[in-house]
């Protein structure tokens, strides 16, 4: 039996207050170039590797939207060397909200974006 909903995640939506500032922040975080003049509300797709996209959404056209930061990790970004990633985050002045933790070979830490959303950095 084929179900109408597939076992596949197409996009992760991150709700933001300032689309251009957030697009610049996320692009810088993952090392992709961005021409801010090409960022237009209400959404911007940050180029990432793999089949799942990272979409920033400022809800410009939704007058009933109330922004609230997500305090648990929305997703994780891959970092093959967690300690190098942590040092890089520290050097950029990005707020770490959960220090490095390790269980077996798996290690991670959490950071906060411009709007207070929590993102996990993980080696898996």
DSSP for 43-103 reads EEEEP-SSS-EEEEE--TT-TT-------S-S-EEE-SSHHHHHHHHHHHTPPEEEEEEEE
What is the rounded CA–CA span in Å between residue 121 and residue 89?
10
Give 2's pLDDT tier (boundaries 50, 70, 90).
Answer: confident
100 vs 91: CA distance, rounded Å:
16
- The answer to whether 11 touches 47, Cβ cutoff 8 Å, is no
How far apart CA 25 and CA 43 sit, in angstroms, is: 15
Q: Summarize pLDDT for 61-96 with one digit per residue, the tens.
A: 999 999 999 999 999 999 999 999 999 999 999 999
pTM, two decimals, is 0.93
């Amino acid at each position: 039996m084929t179900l109408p909903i597939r076992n596949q995640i197409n996009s992760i939506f991150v709700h933001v207050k300032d689309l251009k500032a957030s697009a610049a922040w996320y692009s810088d975080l993952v090392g992709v170039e961005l021409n801010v003049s090409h960022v237009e509300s209400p959404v911007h797709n940050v180029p990432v590797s793999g089949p799942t996209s990272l979409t920033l959404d400022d809800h410009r056209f939704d007058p009933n939207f109330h922004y609230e930061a997500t305090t648990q990790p929305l997703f994780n970004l891959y970092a093959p060397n967690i300690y190098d990633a942590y040092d890089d985050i520290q050097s950029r002045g990005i707020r770490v909200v959960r220090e490095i933790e390790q269980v077996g070979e798996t290690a991670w830490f959490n950071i906060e974006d411009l709007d207070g959303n929590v993102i996990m950095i993980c080696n898996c």
